């Protein structure tokens, strides 16, 4: 195992009526001025807004609304939120939504306390923000597990870059499966596939010999695969939904990463694809993963072979390691088709004339990946995905 330090700052409230039961006590610890952040309005249609506003009012809070946070949140939106927070003397941010809202607020919370541009501060000066407006998250769309970490993925349209920015950890996260029941099924599936991808990206890092984190990871992957199938069979199955929500959190709460240097090369490629096309994150990963993994096969054969058996429950009888590794990639591809995710960029309406070379040339190359990809080979991967 690599050396590690582990501590965990986020209080998690999971289960039915988690907001009603726990938000009042959390709000009692915060100042009066609350920024209520949300997306395009789904929370107004499903009753979540009314329930939370009732709790905020009962706690005597003065609420400023920060609305319209889009999927793949932009740097401009972050700046809008930071301005609102400063102008209104915000003491506490309540982020309500999927990862886009949750990520956007992580950076708002830091930018509002920083008197310089946070992108330049992190990328040019290599600084790390140290002061934040405290925050809580109410998760209404699951998959990324973003409520569990302090990394945000932000699209800087001017710089044509979708990249990580480091912000605050949430003080608490509220995970009530009932709040997610109105998610469109396509979003449920692409979100859950993202959780599977996070688990695989963590597993595929180094060291390449299996450790305790990897064995917990194998169980997480098996669980996600089974519960995606159960959710598709019965979208009202709240047990399956609950498992998927917690699996998403498990993939990002640091436990699977203990003692590992993670891979995340597929994610870095997908993020740049997102910067150029604004595509759905989980769908982009679904198209890229099998193609990228076929390119990684020689270097990752041992880990793929083990995943075939432990995550995909493929019998090893009569198969050598390479055959098992190929069986893993085949199972992953078949699963992506089975659950209705796209298998090509064409199915995602990504135009043929997208500047794939620029995407390959600007993708972050990761240290933990089994294969050291060249930009030329990343371009090959992208072209094969068309
Ligand atoms: O905006 P509203 O109207 O709320 O609608 C949203 C949005 O259209 C809708 N939605 C959310 N909860 C709902 C609901 N609709 C009905 N009922 C509900 N209960 O869902 C749509 C998608 O939301 P979004 O937050 O964009 O999706 P997701 O959670 O998949 O987040 C995607 C973003 O996360 C980034 C991605 O790159 C992308 O920008 N990621 C962040 C990570 C992190 N911070 O750890 C890791 C990931 O790898 C990922 O890169
Ligand atoms: Zn992801």
- Contact predicate 161/362, CB 8 Å: yes
Fold exhibited by the domain 11-179: Rossmann fold (3.40.50)
Domain covering 185-384: architecture: Up-down Bundle (1.20)
Smallest Cα–Cα separation from 31: which of 70, 101, 88, 97? 88
- Contact predicate 98/188, CB 8 Å: no
Residue nearest to atom 50 of ligand 1 (CA): 153
- Contact predicate 93/134, CB 8 Å: yes
Provide the residue-wise pLDDT of the chain in tens; the chain has 386 residues. 888 888 899 999 999 999 999 999 999 999 999 999 999 999 999 999 999 999 999 999 999 999 999 999 999 999 999 999 999 999 999 999 999 999 999 999 999 999 999 999 999 999 999 999 999 999 999 999 999 999 999 999 999 999 999 998 999 999 999 999 999 999 999 999 999 999 999 999 998 889 999 999 999 999 999 999 999 999 999 999 999 999 999 999 999 999 999 999 999 999 999 999 999 999 999 999 999 999 999 999 999 999 999 999 999 999 999 999 999 999 999 999 999 999 999 999 999 999 999 999 999 999 999 999 999 999 999 999 99
270 CB within 6 A, ligand 1: no
Q: Considering every ligand atom, which ligand is closest to the CA of 289?
A: 2
242 CB within 6 A, ligand 1: no
290 CB within 6 A, ligand 1: no
Give the burial class of 178: count Cβ atoms within 10 A of its Cβ; 0-12 exposed, 13-18 middle, 19 or more buried: middle
- Residue appearing with tokens 């029941």: 181
Q: Considering every ligand atom, which ligand is closest to the CA of 72?
A: 1
99 CB within 6 A, ligand 1: yes
The residues pairing with 93 across neighbouring beta strands, listed in sequence order, are 35, 135
Domain ranges of the chain: 11-179, 185-384
């Amino acid at each position: 195992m690599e050396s590690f330090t582990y501590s965990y700052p986020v209080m998690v409230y999971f289960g039915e009526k988690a907001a009603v039961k726990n938000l009042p006590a959390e709000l009692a610890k915060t100042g009066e001025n609350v920024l209520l952040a949300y997306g395009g309005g789904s929370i107004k249609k499903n009753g979540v807004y009314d329930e939370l506003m009732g709790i905020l009012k009962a706690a005597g809070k003065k609420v400023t609304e920060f609305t319209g946070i889009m999927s793949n949140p932009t740097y401009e939106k972050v700046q809008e939120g930071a301005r609102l927070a400063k102008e209104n003397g915000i003491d506490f941010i309540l982020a309500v939504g999927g990862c886009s809202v949750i990520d956007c607020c992580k950076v708002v919370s830091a930018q509002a306390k920083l008197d310089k541009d946070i992108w330049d501060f992190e990328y040019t000066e290599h600084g790390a923000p140290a002061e934040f407006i405290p925050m809580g998250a109410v998760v209404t769309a699951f998959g990324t597990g973003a409520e569990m970490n302090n990394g945000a993925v932000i699209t800087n349209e001017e710089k044509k870059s979708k990249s990580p920015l480091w912000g605050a950890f949430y003080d608490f996260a509220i995970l009530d499966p009932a709040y997610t029941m109105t998610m469109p099924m396509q979003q449920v599936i692409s979100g859950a596939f993202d959780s599977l991808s996070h688990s695989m990206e963590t597993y595929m890092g180094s060291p390449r010999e299996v450790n305790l984190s990897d064995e917990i990871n194998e169980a997480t992957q098996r669980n996600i695969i089974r519960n995606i199938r159960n959710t598709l069979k019965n979208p009202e199955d709240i047990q399956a939904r609950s498992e998927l929500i917690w699996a998403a959190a498990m993939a990002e709460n640091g436990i699977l990463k203990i003692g590992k240097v993670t891979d995340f090369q597929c994610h870095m490629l997908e993020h740049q694809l997102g910067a150029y096309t604004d595509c759905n994150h989980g769908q982009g990963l679904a198209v890229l993963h099998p193609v990228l993994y076929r390119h990684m096969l020689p270097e990752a054969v041992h880990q793929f072979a083990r995943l075939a058996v432990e995550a995909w429950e493929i019998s090893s009888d009569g198969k050598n390691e390479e055959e098992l590794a190929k069986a893993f990639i085949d199972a992953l591809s078949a699963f992506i088709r089975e659950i209705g995710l796209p298998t090509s960029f064409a199915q995602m309406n990504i135009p043929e004339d997208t500047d794939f070379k620029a995407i390959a040339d600007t993708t972050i190359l990761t240290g933990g990946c089994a294969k050291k990809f060249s930009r030329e080979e990343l371009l090959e991967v992208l072209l094969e995905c068309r």
